[in-house]
Amino acid sequence: MNDKFLPIGSVVRLKNGEMRLMIVSYLIFSAGTEKNKKMYDYGGCGFPEGIIESKYAVGFNHEDIEEVVFKGLVDEEQEKFNQVLIQNEANIKKIFEENKPE
C-alpha cells in the first residue's frame, strides 16, 4: 500500500481482522495511563455502525492494514493535507515520545 495517509472516510480491513473500520482521524493517542499511551497513524470506528461510544474507537497503524475496502474522497485539499501529515509525522511522533513519562 503506497498511500499514506488514506483519506478520512476510507474503509479498511486490518490484518487478521474480520471487522471493517472507517478512518475518522489521524495521529491519535491511546487512552490509558501516561506511561502506556501509544500513538497511532489512524483512529477508526466500526463500519457501517460508526461511532457508538468513544470506548469503541480503534487506533491502528498503516502497516496493520490488510485491505482497503473503500478509499475516501481525494481532492486537492485532501492531497495538500496528506502532504502536511507526511512532512510532520516524524516530528509529531518525536514530540510525543519525548513527553511520555518514564
Q: One-letter amino acid identity for 58?
A: V
Query: Which residues touch 52 (CB under 8 Å, ≥6 apart)?
Result: 45, 46
Q: What is the pLDDT of residues 11-44, one digit of tens each?
A: 999 999 899 999 999 988 876 666 677 889 999 9
Cell output for 51? 461511532
Of 66 and 57, the one with more pLDDT: 66
**pLDDT category of residue 1 using cuts at 50, 70 and 90:** very low
Inter-residue contact 12 to 6 (CB < 8 Å): yes
Query: How much is the pLDDT for 10?
Result: 97
pTM of the model: 0.84
The H or E element containing residue 52 is none
